Amino acid sequence: MPAWTDQLVECVPNFSEGRRPEVIERICAAIEDGGEALVLDRSLDPDHNRSVVTFVAPPAAAVAAAVRAVRIARDEIDLRDHEGVHPRMGAADVVPFVPLRGVTMEDCVEVARRAAAAIGDELAVPCFLYGEAAARPERANLADVRRPRFEGLRDLVGSDPAWAPDAGPAALHESAGATAVGARFFLVAFNVDLASDDLDLARRIAREVRESSGGLPTIKAIGLRLEERGRVQVSMNVCDYRVTSLATVFREVSRRAEEAGVRVAGSELIGLLPKEAWDATASGALALPPASADRLIESRLDARQRAMGPPLGLVLGALASDAPTPGGGFAAGLAGSLAAALAAMASRISAGKAKDEETRAELVRAVGSADALGKTLLALAHRDAAAYGRLHEAWGMPRGTDEEKARRDEEIDQASRAAAAVPLEIAEMAARTTTLAALVLEKGRASLAVDVGTTALLAAAAAASARLMVLVNLPSIVDEDERARLRELADRHVELADRAAATVGAKVEVILSGGDGAG
């Protein structure tokens, strides 16, 4: 099974809202709603009144997720009432796409243009293409696109041909403004706070270090006043850390501040950055908080994947594809893990409302068992795909000579044993899940009977499906006794699962008909 991360686009939309976290939560929920995008980070700044969200998705899913996010921003953020120190032109101000893994910049240009067209057509928010996706050379620089800001664009869009949007209506959205959509390399948003309230100093340093004023290559910078912190800030975009490093930027800002008799109060990273931009001494050298080491996009992605596995939409897409894996064994393991998750849910709720300590203790133990079964079954689902991959490779081994044929036959035998062993374990874990369901139904709350019944039915189906995957691998196993042993064990697990599921099902029917039920 190919890793779901084989083709990923990073999207880092900036929203003109940093004071209402509930709005950003709704935006993040919308991004993940399609089941194929993962939100890795969100940063809210009340002074900037701005939020930066980082999510990853395959190219097509990234377009849909971005459109969903802009829709929420359009409906929830009104720039007519917006105040903040950061320049902005739209509720969804900037939507950049970055090639992360297995995609090119050209792919991201196509993604950006599709997203802009969808935002313009479906949401009636005009879009300007910038960066690598710019349709006009004068719009390659985001600062040039955003320079008139929301208030200035109201007079320009629709009246000045130079400000005709690249997508969407030829009029600014009355409350959501316009959105800049682009494709670019990794950008690191890096801010340095000065222990001073001298805004002129921050602006002078910003002017001296930014590229457009003859400063550091690939650096954009502005000076801002942070009212809530009581100091000023040099807010920067490091547009290509390979050209100008974070250490160089920090050194130049610090030197100029010290020459003015002002110390650096600290620095911060907004959003995530790639591991390549970070080194072992970065936190100390840049006056960053210790937690900044957690801002690596690769680390966040790996942690999210370990915690949750790939998004369900991607799993189902892989299962529905024309690839031979994942297949039936994976589906059986996934069904079993879903059953175990339902058992865990019913146990947790029931334990929290149990009337006596003995019942509560039993249900708490059931929670632990269900959680462990779910994790095991999900891991087995992925192992099944790997086991089939080994068998597929064995079938393709050369067999031109007697020696090659013997090696091939041996490898097919061993790979078939492994390919049968994994679904056999799935059947066993699924059977245990059905027996656990019987316990939860007996000790748990009657209001959860349907959930427990679903647990038993799903787990029994998982066991029966896994048995089929055992049987299909038996003919390639040479040892007849081993074939008989595997078949007997698979049959035994299914019989146990079926009996437990039948018992649970009968009790659930009684509960639903108004008879005596669980406690």
Looking at the annotation, which residues are catalytic?
Answer: 86, 384
The alpha carbon of residue 91 and the mean position of all alpha carbons in its chain are separated, in whole angstroms, by 23
The alpha carbon of residue 382 and the mean position of all alpha carbons in its chain are separated, in whole angstroms, by 19
Q: Which residues contact 320 (CB under 8 A, 6 or more apart)?
A: none
Give the DSSP per-residue string, 316-338.
HHHHHSSSS-S-HHHHHHHHHHH
Query: Which strand (E) or helix (H) includes residue 382?
Result: helix 357-395
* Whole-number Å distance between alpha carbons of 170 and 175: 15
* Ramachandran angles phi, psi of 464, nearest 5°: -65, -40
Query: What value does the CA radius of gyration of the chain take, rounded to a whole number of Å?
Result: 29
- The answer to whether 370 touches 433, Cβ cutoff 8 Å, is yes
Cis amide prior to 326 (ω within 30 degrees): yes
* Ramachandran angles phi, psi of 54, nearest 5°: -120, 125
Q: In the numeric block, which tokens belong to residue 51?
A: 């939020």
The alpha carbon of residue 139 and the mean position of all alpha carbons in its chain are separated, in whole angstroms, by 30
* Tokens 């243009």 -> residue: 113
* Whole-number Å distance between alpha carbons of 241 and 14: 20
Query: Within 10 Å of residue 360's Cβ, how many Cβ atoms?
Result: 16
Burial tier of 197 (Cβ tally within 10 Å: 0-12, 13-18, 19+): middle
* Ramachandran angles phi, psi of 262, nearest 5°: -120, 135
Closest CA to 381 of 333, 337, 326: 333
